[in-house]
Amino acid sequence: MAKYQSRGTCELCKSSFSKAGMTKHLNSCILKNIGSEDKQNRKRKFFHIVVMGYYEPDYWMHLAVPANTKLQTLDQFLRDIWLECCGHLSAFEINGMRYSVSPMEEYDEIGMNKKIGDILEPGIVFHHEYDFGSTTELGLKVISGFETNIKDMSIKILSRNDAPEIRCDKCGKMATQVCTQCIYEGVGWLCDDCAEDHECDEEMMLPVVNSPRVGVCGYCG
């Protein structure tokens, strides 16, 4: 994959920052721009969590996650945004404990019905796996906790990396397809024209999408 400078846009103020700059920016922007929408002035606790591809760290998101969110809800959110292709199993690993969508006692796993506010706190680094065959691994870190009066208690994207500019290996145009066989050799990124002449079968091609699961299994975004 061609190298590029990973950047993203803050959804709160629409400013653009580098990956490193976004974390610092959001520390202040969250407090400035997430205001009160609750006339009864009841405070609600959220966590600022950054999530990125464990082996593809240029794919990243910053999330505002309510503290009463269950792990299974966060798991489904990650599936919907970045991962879901064939209904594979998934699991979190947090402080040495494994929380699985389908727990197996013989592996000391438990379910995902825990609220994140009961198991997470600022500074905690944890792990997520989707698909235990062609696995996509994510690294997550709780950056901070904050309170807000916002009524909407859904998970919110604070920022996400801009789609990388991946160039066709053959001609240098923007890649639109990737060969799921050649990608494991570090090549196989192709524009539509070059994909037509690619030596691998057409069934091996997948669309280039903004996700750390690009080119894996049957993931199409």
List CB contacts of 139: < 8 A, sequence separation 6 or more.
Answer: 51, 52, 53, 54, 57, 125, 126, 127
pLDDT for 113 equals 97
Strand partners, 147: 45
| H or E segment and range at residue 17 | strand 16-18
Would you say residue 190 has pLDDT above 60?
yes
Q: What is the pLDDT of residue 70?
A: 98
Whether the per-residue pLDDT at 4 is higher than 60: the answer is no
Work out the mean pLDDT of the chain and round it to a whole number: 92
pLDDT higher at 3 or 186:
186
**Quick one: which H or E segment has residue 28?**
helix 19-33
Q: How does pLDDT run across 113-172, given as a tens digit for each residue? A: 999 999 999 999 999 999 999 999 999 999 999 988 888 889 999 999 999 999 999 999
Q: How far apart are CA 66 and CA 154, in angstroms?
A: 7
Q: What is the DSSP letter of 164?
A: P
Domains of the chain: which residue ranges? 7-161, 166-221
Rounded to whole angstroms, the Cα distance separating 152 from 169 reads 44
Q: Look at the block and give the residue holding tokens 């989707």.
A: 130
Which tokens in the block code for residue 214?
């690009």
Q: Which CATH superfamily is domain 7-161 in?
A: MM3350-like (3.10.290.30)
Q: Tell me, what's the pLDDT at 74?
A: 98
- More confident: 106 or 110: 110
Q: Is the pLDDT of residue 36 over 60?
A: no
